[in-house]
Amino acid sequence: MSYIRRPMKRVALRGRLTRPWWRWRFHEFGDGAILYRPDWVFGPQLMTVGRNTMIFHGTWLSVERVAWEAATDPVLRIGAGVGIRPYCTISAAESIVIEDHVVLSAFSTVVDSDHTFVRGEPSVLRGPLATNPIRIGRGTWVGERVAVLRGSDIGERCIIGANSVVRGRIPDNSIAVGAPARVVGTTEPE
C-alpha cells in the first residue's frame, strides 16, 4: 500500500532493480543513481552518470553517431547529485558536461550541435553537423522548457529562467532570462 501512496518509493525500487543493467551499458553509472523509464538512450558507452543522480521518465539521452568514431572518452558527462526532470532531451555530438548538483527542469533541451546546409543537401538532416561543447556549472538551476544550444558555457550557481534560449557564456552566480538569455540579476546574497 505504501508504494501506491508514495510514488517516489516505486521510483527508488525500480532504480535499485535496474541499476545493474545501466552499469553494464554506461561507461560509468554511479552508486545511488536512478535512470527512471527513459524514452531513449543512444550511445550509453560514451556517457557517465554520477552518484545519487536522478533522471526522470521520458528523458532522451543521446551521443550522436559522429562521436562514436571520434571519441574514446565519454562525450556526455552528468555529475553527482544532478536532478533531470521529466521529458528532457540531451544530445551530445562533441561534449556536454553537466556538473554536480545541477537541476534541469522538465521539457528542457541541451544540444551541442546544429545541422547545416554546408554541402548543399536538399535536407538539413543530410548535411554535416556544426558542434561546440556545452558546460552547465555546478549548482545551476535550468528552468522549465529552456533550450541550451551549442557553445553554451553556463557558470556555477546560476538560475536560467523558464522558456529561455541560452547560447554563449553566462557568468557564475547569474540570473539569466529571455531569448537569447541575458543576465538580469545575481544569485549572490545581498
Alpha helices in the chain (DSSP H): 2-5, 7-25, 65-70
The C-alpha cell that represents 20 in the structure block: 545493474
- Across the chain, what does the average pLDDT equal? 93
Pairing of strands 113-115, 129-131: antiparallel
Mean pLDDT of 8-35: 91
* pLDDT over threshold 80, residue 4: no
Q: Where are the domains of the chain?
A: 2-182
Burial class (CB in 10 A: 0-12, 13-18, 19+), 129: middle
Would you state the pLDDT for residue 8?
82
Please say whether the beta carbons of 134 and 148 come within 8 A.
Answer: yes
Question: How much is the pTM?
Answer: 0.93
**How far from 134 is each of 25, 75, 153, CA to CA, in Å?**
23, 11, 6
Would you state the pLDDT for residue 99?
98
Q: What CATH superfamily classification does 2-182 receive?
A: Hexapeptide repeat proteins (2.160.10.10)
Please say whether the beta carbons of 96 and 109 come within 8 A.
Answer: no
Tell me the pLDDT tens digit for each residue of 136-148. 999 999 999 999 9
Please say whether the beta carbons of 160 and 154 come within 8 A.
Answer: yes
Mean pLDDT of 5-15: 82
- Cα 162 from chain centroid? 16
* pLDDT over threshold 90, residue 172: yes
* pLDDT over threshold 90, residue 77: yes
